[in-house]
A and B are shown apart, each in its own frame.
Chain A
Amino acid sequence: MLKSAFLSLLFCGSLASTAQTVSSEPFKLPSGPLNQLSGQAFLSPALKAMQSDASTNPISLWLEQGRTLWNGAAGQPSCAQCHGDIETMKSVAPQYPKWSDKQQKLINMEDQILTCSQRTLRPLKSLENTELLSLSAVLHSSSAGLPFQILPNQDSQQRWQVELNAGAKLFTTRIGRMNLACTHCHDLNIGKTMRADVISPGHPTGFPIFKLSWQSMGSIDRRLRACYSGVQAEVPAPGSPELRQLELFLKSRAQGMPIEGPSLRR
């Protein structure tokens, strides 16, 4: 008992000292225009160090699970049986969200994984399911470096434009008790501090994210709902059309920026 207490003290000591040596570097934004910076530029040096080392990055846990699910354990059904190697899927994540003619609605990557899983022997239950997020994480990680390709299908161009316009309107409409629109922070006040954080342009290049305050992975759907809560507005249900419209607008706003794969956030 005594021995283990001593050991746990040792851990606290070693953890604290590692964190201290890393975070002593000051946080600095790069010079030049701020409106094309990805969320990566707003990470503290300590978080950057944590992210770049797979043995300290918590996302490794989800990536490992995602790869196992994709390739399947011996004799188990897997994604690879239909879709092949994950590398062949790297052009997929940059195309979402897109208009689904079959479902007559806008769907994102996580919606597609959920729909796909219903045809298997292992149907997933919700959008924030651990297995779903780990599959989304490996798919986004295989697309790392590729630019967003947010384009309408040939035959649903008009419908797609309606959704995009709705997203743009949501982005500029004041909501909540704070009476703020997305644009007030993420266009007009980039680089200024809000509480202890620096405001980013809000380009969704690093999803799904591991947010330290959530102590877990989360999708862009969950992150946008957190924004609604932040401005004290009524929070839409997971998978609501308005969240997909906003995601479509945000991603076409970030058109051409490279996907960074699953990322750490505060």
Chain B
Amino acid sequence: MSSPILTRLALTGQVKAGGHVEARWSAAHPMNSGFRVDDSGHRIPKNIIHTVRAYLNDRLIMEADLGTAMTSPVYLAFPVSVPAEGGIVKVIWQDDLGQMGETQQRLVI
């Protein structure tokens, strides 16, 4: 088993109720497109992060279907509206091997 996939979530901008912050999520996933070959010439099976979902206080706010053209490390940026009570932004991913991961950050007003 390879070492776990490193992921990181950063919320940038001023956290103000009613305002917006930018969520920046990255993951150091190999994103093997299925077309690469290893040192002995064998094809490396396709394994990419195919789905990323972002939740704000457990409500789905963003869903992305990624393709083989995505770079490694994967980098996604998306706006998040800040609710009056603050909350937690959670990002969940899944790859072709069935590996999953979760990163979360708190929105503190």
Contacts and interface: CB of A to CB of B under 8 A. Distances in A.
Interface of A: 1, 3-5, 7-8, 10-11, 14-15, 18, 54-56, 58, 60-62, 64-65, 129-131, 215-216
Nearest to A10: B78
B40 interface: no
Given A11-B77, A56-B75, A4 B63 contact: yes
Nearest to B76: A11
A232 to B, nearest CB: 19
Closest 4 CB pairs of A and B: A55-B10, A61-B6, A215-B72, A55-B24
A58 B28 contact: yes
Interface of B: 3, 6-8, 10, 12, 24, 26-28, 31, 62-66, 71-73, 75-78
B64 A61 contact: no
Given A1-B65, A4-B65, A54-B10, 11 more contacts: A4-B64, A7-B62, A8-B64, A8-B66, A11-B64, A58-B75, A60-B8, A60-B10, A129-B3, A130-B3, A130-B28
Nearest to B69: A12
Q: Is the interface of A mostly helix, strand, loop or mixed?
A: helix
A11 B73 contact: no
A54 B9 CA distance: 11
Given A15-B77, A215-B72, A215-B73, A131 B64 contact: no
Nearest to A60: B8
Contacts of B26: 58, 60-61
Output the residue of B28, B64, B78 with the most chain A CB within 10 A.
B28
Contacts of B71: 215
A60 B10 CA distance: 10
A88 B63 CA distance: 44
B24 A56 contact: yes
A5 B62 CA distance: 11
A8 B3 CA distance: 28
B24 A7 contact: no
Query: Considering residues B6, B12, B78, which has the most beta carbons from chain A within 10 angstroms of its beta carbon?
Result: B6
Nearest to A210: B73
Contacts of B76: 11
11 contacts: A4-B63, A4-B64, A7-B62, A14-B77, A15-B77, A60-B8, A61-B8, A64-B6, A215-B31, A215-B72, A215-B73
